[in-house]
Amino acid sequence: MQHDLILKGARVIDPSQNHDGICDVAFADGRVSGFGRDLPAGPGTQVREMEGAIVTPGLIDLHTHVYWGGTSLGIDADEFCRTSGVTTSVDTGSAGPGNFAGFRSHVIERSQARILAYLHVSFAGIFGFSKTIMVGESEDPRLMAPREAVEVAEANRDVIVGIKVRVGRHASGDQGTAPLDIALQVAEETGLPLMAHIDEPPPSYEAVLAMLRPGDVLTHAFRPFPNSPVTAQGVVKPALREARARGVLFDIGHGKGSFAFRTARAMLAGGFLPDTISSDVHQLCIEGPAFDQVTTMSKMLCLGMSLTDVIAASTVNAAVALKRMEYGTLKVGALGDATVLAVRDGAFDYVDTRGETMTGAQRITAEGVVLKGRWWHPA
């Protein structure tokens, strides 16, 4: 087979294949076309020497906000993906059924990087989120649009991967779990998974977990007090283990206010790793404290997760959450996406959403991107 591109001699870490070793990865016609040692190059093959680099499946950021220009919190997906090694950005509820058509036409279809989306059950999505205005879209039951959400989800099955809802004092005021109940009805009607945001109570962390189904995602899972997943003594609450046992997935969703080193240390000490690592990057956290996906991955690496587990949480585990197994893998025939990483040693400063700083001994950096079978180097 004639390969278009070969990444040669890298350390390839692909948790979907339990592979960590030196090999080549080849691409043709937008797909992975070869995986192994000494893959042959044809006369038209671009060969890039990758000795000393780490190649992984294309990184998936399961929680982003990339409805640039359509919402106040949206960032430019292509710029973000180029510089952070992300090949698939999953927008989580920026748009609802009332404005999803604009998101699709003006952003998703024009982006080079892949964009998938969780559709918000609120009619206009997250519409009031800025430095000066903060209006919880789940506060007013009149904004819940279950019928319209079902219609839009069914008409956009190629890019809509789930239903999003935000609950908590900031997002839903005194509504408690009522918006979650409506969103779950939409998810049941469409057969799609749900992603639930949680912030400060009400409702409680445990109340939200009790309602989630196998395959649903709780984002901001490593959040600080109040609504922390650990007790004051640093013990993981039993409700989390019960929910994981029945198939609920736990996502980092770093963002502006939803990740704490103290919580993460306790969770990892209790053997409770996140299923997925995501940045929740948006206009209010792209310059800190979240920054990007590789910074969020670096924090988890420095807190004690293994490099393989960090990569799995940003590739194959995210693909499982999306129910799209051709993502997050370098198996032959899969989507032709790959990320080139480096792990730097030194003393690196990190900060969480509560202002705690940590000096880590390692930092993951994005060195290059293969997107749809083509080299797409960071800007």
- Below-50 pLDDT ranges, the chain: none
b/e string for 84-116 if b means 16 or more Cβ within 10 A? Answer: bbbbbbbbbbbbbbbbbeebbeebbeebebbbb
Q: Which fold has domain 58-322?
A: TIM Barrel (3.20.20)
Options 2.30.40.10, 3.40.50.150, 2.60.120.10, 1.20.1090.10; CATH for 5-56+332-345+363-375 is: 2.30.40.10
In the prediction, which pLDDT does 80 show?
93
Within this chain, domains 5-56+332-345+363-375 and 58-322 share the same CATH topology? no
Contact yes or no for 138/172 (Cβ under 8 A): yes
Q: How far apart are CA 55 and CA 126, in angstroms?
A: 35
Give the pLDDT score at 1: 78
Return binding residues.
63, 65, 164, 197, 220, 280
**Averaged confidence pLDDT in the chain:** 97
pLDDT for the residue 379: 54
- pLDDT for 377 equals 79
Could you tell me which residues are annotated as the binding site for Zn(2+)? 63, 65, 164, 197, 220, 280
DSSP 68: B
Please give the backbone phi and psi of residue 310, each rounded to the nearest 5 degrees, phi first. Answer: -65, -45
Q: In what order do the strands lie in the sheet with 59-64?
A: 59-64, 86-92, 114-120, 160-167, 194-198, 217-219, 249-250
Where do the structural domains in the chain lie, given as residue ranges? 5-56+332-345+363-375, 58-322
pTM: 0.98
